[in-house]
Every structure is written in C-alpha cells, then in structure tokens.
Amino acid sequence: MSTATMPREELYRRIRDLPSDKQAAAIRLARKHYGGRFYHLANDPVGYIQTVLGEFLWSKQQEMAEAVRDHRRVAVHACHNTGKSWLAARIVAWFVTTRELGDTFVVTTAPTMRQVKAVLWREIRRAIKAGDLPGKPNLTEWSVNEELVAFGQKPADWDPSAFQGIHALRVLVILDEACGIPESIWDAASSLVSNEDSRILAIGNPDDPTSYFARMCRPGSGWHVIHVGWGDTPNHPDSTEEVPDRLRKLLISQVWVEERAREWGVDSPKYIARVLGLFPEDAADSVVPLSLLMKCAQPREYPPGDLLPIELGVDVGAGGDFTSIRERRGRRVGRVWRDHSRDLMTVTGLVVRAIRETGASAVKVDEIGIGAGVRDRLEELRIEGVHPAQVIGVNVGSAPLDSTRFPRLRDQIWFDLGRGLSQDMVWDFSGLDEDERDTLFAQLIAPKTKPDSAGRNRVEPKDETRKRIGRSPDDADALLLAFFAPPPELPEDIRVPVTEQVRISPY
C-alpha cells in the first residue's frame, strides 16, 4: 500500500516504529501529504505531540493532555517549572488541527497581557513552527486560511462580557496563571464551554488559598483536578522516569529546591506552593498572611505623580545579618541594596549611593546599635551637601504610637503596615521579578504573633524569627521602614495611626 492511499493511523504508526534519526523526515512528508489536518489524532493528544510536533512528554504532561481529551473542565495546580504553559500551547495546536476548520475555536487568558504574550503565546508560536502547522500566528492570534482559530486576551477584571460573541461547535479555553484570574473572568470564560465537546483547562502555581482557582481545585468542585509536586517530577531523587537530557535541565531541579528550603524554610507557604505544588493555608499566627500579599502582586497602573514620594528604609545588619536598603516609590515596592559589612562607613556609603540612584527625598534608618552611627553620619553628609535626603532615625524598640494595642513600635509597624497595607492592597509588588518577590514574601510572612500578658499584639523578636527559620527578615524590616511615616510631635491622645500616616502620604 502506498502512502497516497494509506490511512493516517497506519502511516503514523509506521513513523513511530522508524529509527529516531529517520522520524523527523517522515513526519515532514506526512504533514505535507495531509495538508496540516490530523483528524485521526483527535482522540490522541499524546500521539499528536509526539509525532506531528516531534516533541517529548513526561508522565504528568501525558496525564494532563489526556485529561483535557476526557474531561470538560481540568484544573492543574503544580509546582515551579513543570512545563505547564509549554504543554497548554501544544494542546492548543492539537485542538485546532485535529478538527474541522470553522468548527473549532481557542481562547486563552492570563492575569496580565504580558503573561498572555510572553508566556503561553510564545509557546503557541513555537508549537506551530515545530509542527509546520498551517496559518500565520502573531503575538496573540492564529489565523488559518483567513479564519481566526485562536486568540489570547486579558480583559478588564470587571468586564462580565469579556468573551461574548464567540461561538463554535468546539471551544477550548486556557486559563494560564490561573491563581491571578478573578472570578468574573472565570465566569465569562466558562460561558464559552456550554456545549458538550468544549473544554476548559486552568493551570497555575497554587500561591493563593483564597483564589477562585483554589476553590475549583477542591474536592466537590466538579473539576477534574491534577496535582504536580516536586516529588512527581523526573528530577526528584526517588524518580526512575527517563527523560531527554535537555528536558531534564528545563524542569525544577534539586539544587533549586534545596536553595528554596534554605531561603524560605520547608514550612513556608511559598515552599509549599512552589515546591510541593499545594495550596498553603495562611498560618493563624502569622502577622502578614500570604494570601493578602499575593493580591498586592497583581500589576496596576498609576499616573506619574502617583509614584511619589521616593523614600528608603535601612535595616542595618547586626550579628551576621545583611544590611538591607529598600526603595519605596509611592505605593510601589522598588529596588533593594544589600551588604554584609558591619563597617559604619561602608554601610553609609551604600546608603548614599542608593539615595543618588533613586533621588530619594527621605531615608529612614533603624537607629538601634550601629544604625545610630549610620544615621549621624548620613545627617553630617546631608549638611555638607553630599546628598539632599532628609535623614530620620527610627528606634523600633521604643514605645508605640498606640500603647493600648502594642508593646513596642516594631509591633505596631508590622501590624499597621505589614498587615494593614496588605489588607487594603495599598502597596504594590508587581514591579519585582518573581524570585525577588518570593524571597521578600517569605520574609514578610515569617514573623509570628501572640498576645502579651496585657492582651496587646506582639510580634516575635527578630532573634526568635532567625532561630526558628534560620534567616533574618532584614529586607522586610527595611521595606516597612521605607513605608513608615514618623508622626509629628502631637499629644498622645490625637496621634494618627501608622496606617493612616501612610495613606495620607502624597502618592
């Protein structure tokens, strides 16, 4: 039987039986022969990805692909670097090219347009190229014979009509980075898959236990749920799964896991989400819950004037800790400078450099210990004209502004700023890269709280935090100082709460 009359199933079965060095050429010929349509693989996404695209799937990716074939609604909560978006792009290619043109449509969305373009659609374009598939994709659309077959969009969070007007016999919806997608967009996307042959796939890291994604991943939600943790991956020491060397290098590694264990702690919600692939529960005794911080990581846009004031917080290292300098630009959390030196002049020089690089109008220094010397030297340099920033010493061990609720100023700063600004979504972490944000969040959620004998809110001392988790929350303390607005000298009975001081700062 010639290839001209050979059924597709038979041809691709024979291709899979060929030696690996001859498969690629045979696949190219088969693609040309069948005109880019692969109806015989409509029920075989794994076979499609392996033969048409010529790519390798590890076991959990195979499970995810087959789940989309078998279930109308699939939710995948997974650890870091498991190839979720890579696989979703291949599922898009399979869904479009194994069904009739005109009967099929794909919609993708993510929390930001940057994520739509730079993550999933980047992989969709790669999949189209790998399979020499028909049509011309751009940054967010794929058209075949002038027929739009797929597009990516990040609609306004409040828009209930985000995806209206999209109709097809078979619709596939991909929700990428699903933890950051609000319920209104889930509802709009779900309205597209009302017919039996349509599908919806939600994928993401399980960062926020209060998200709609978390609700869909719980038992009884009606979704087919797949969990992928570090222990499921081929790079785990107990795994016997064989994968290509290149793929192994792309997946979550033991080195990264060990680094995260040291940096975050194995009990940290960040470790639980990014390494174990599980939704963490906010610890009842944490001052700052992770779920609140995650809501402050979603991108926002501000007029230029809203990025003021520019101020710095300085936590001077002691006992082996780092000196940390953190920048605040209005609501936005900015850059960080760190140094392990305890030399007063070295630390002062680093602060001066940060003032010059940022144009900061004020710098607030924890003046306990050598911090007092740093404060004094910075003030001398200001008077000499070396820098223009107002220098403010903050003794976090002093009396609080509200002694009925807190024993020390540090306790009030952590509650009124750390927790208060998170609850009200005042500060914005979206400008940080993922690793920097995760490290900072791990520090912010680390300190525990318990009431003192007078029933006031007490934050555990930094030494206790360091002893318990093996590291000190220096960056977090510096950040809180950056957002702290020292009160004017007012009678104690009319002092403004710390949170209100920040809110009335001119941003």
Q: What is the CATH number of the domain that holds 132?
A: 3.40.50.300
Tens digit of pLDDT for each residue in 431-482? 898 888 888 988 898 888 888 888 899 999 888 888 777 778 889 999 999 9
356 falls within a domain: yes
Taking CA 289 as the corner, what is the angle to CA 281 and CA 225, rounded to the nearest 5 degrees?
30
Same domain, 367 and 222: no
Asked if residues 150 and 144 have their Cβ atoms less than 8 Å apart, the reply is no
Query: What pLDDT is recorded for position 9?
Result: 60
Determine which of 33-37, 162-166, 409-413 has the lowest per-residue pLDDT on average.
33-37
33 falls within a domain: no
What confidence tier does 93 reach under pLDDT thresholds 50, 70, 90?
very high
Same domain, 337 and 195: no
Examine the fold and report which residue of 181, 216, 250 is the final residue of a domain before the chain moves on. 250
What confidence tier does 23 reach under pLDDT thresholds 50, 70, 90?
low
Pick the more confident residue, 72 or 18. 72
Tens digit of pLDDT for each residue in 413-423? 999 999 999 98
Q: What is the mean pLDDT of the chain?
A: 86
- pLDDT at residue 4 greater than cutoff 50: no
Return the axis-axis angle of helices 371-383 and 344-358, rounded to nearest 10°.
Answer: 50
Examine the fold and report which residue of 250, 270, 285 is the final residue of a domain before the chain moves on. 250
Q: How many CB atoms lie within 10 A of CB 238?
A: 5
Count: domains in the chain: 2
Distances in Å between the Cα of 310 and the Cα atoms of 353, 364, 386, 477 are: 14, 12, 18, 17
Query: What pLDDT is recorded for position 2?
Result: 42
Q: How many CB atoms lie within 10 A of CB 25?
A: 11
Segment 312-329 mean pLDDT: 86
Same domain, 366 and 241: no
Say which residues have a Cβ less than 8 Å from residue 156's Cβ, sequence separation at least 6: 162
Query: What pLDDT is recorded for position 505?
Result: 38
Residue spans of beta strands (DSSP E) within 53-204: 73-78, 104-109, 136-137, 141-144, 147-152, 170-175, 199-204
- pLDDT at residue 506 greater than cutoff 50: no
Distances in Å between the Cα of 106 and the Cα atoms of 39, 102, 121, 199, 307 are: 17, 11, 12, 9, 38
CATH number at residue 460: 3.30.420.240
pLDDT more than 90, % of the chain? 51
Pick the more confident residue, 162 or 43. 43
Determine which of 17-21, 139-143, 268-272 has the lowest per-residue pLDDT on average.
17-21
64 falls within a domain: yes
Q: Give the torsion sign (CA, 36, 39, 45, 51).
A: negative
280 preceded by a cis bond (ω within 30 of 0): no
Tokens found for residue 443: 């520090």
Same domain, 245 and 313: no
Q: Tokens 């990716």 belong to which residue?
A: 61
Q: How many CB atoms lie within 10 A of CB 407?
A: 18
Query: What pLDDT is recorded for position 157?
Result: 62
Same domain, 103 and 221: yes
- The rounded distance, in Å, linking the Cα atoms of 188 and 175 is 11
Query: What pLDDT is recorded for position 64?
Result: 97
88 falls within a domain: yes
Tokens found for residue 260: 């995260």
16 falls within a domain: no
Tens digit of pLDDT for each residue in 353-386? 999 999 999 999 999 888 999 999 999 999 999 9
Same domain, 232 and 308: no
Same domain, 396 and 464: yes
Same domain, 68 and 187: yes
Residue 394: domain span: 304-503
416 falls within a domain: yes
Tens digit of pLDDT for each residue in 105-145? 999 999 888 889 989 999 999 999 998 898 889 999 999 98
Same domain, 314 and 389: yes
Examine the fold and report which residue of 250, 282, 317 is the final residue of a domain before the chain moves on. 250
Segment 487-497 mean pLDDT: 48
pTM for the whole structure: 0.67
Same domain, 309 and 246: no
Same domain, 311 and 238: no
Query: What pLDDT is recorded for position 310?
Result: 95
Rg of the Cα atoms in the chain: 27
41 falls within a domain: no
18 falls within a domain: no
Query: What pLDDT is recorded for position 28?
Result: 61
Tens digit of pLDDT for each residue in 152-201? 988 776 566 777 778 888 999 999 999 888 888 888 888 888 888 999 99
Pick the more confident residue, 445 or 282. 445
Same domain, 228 and 356: no
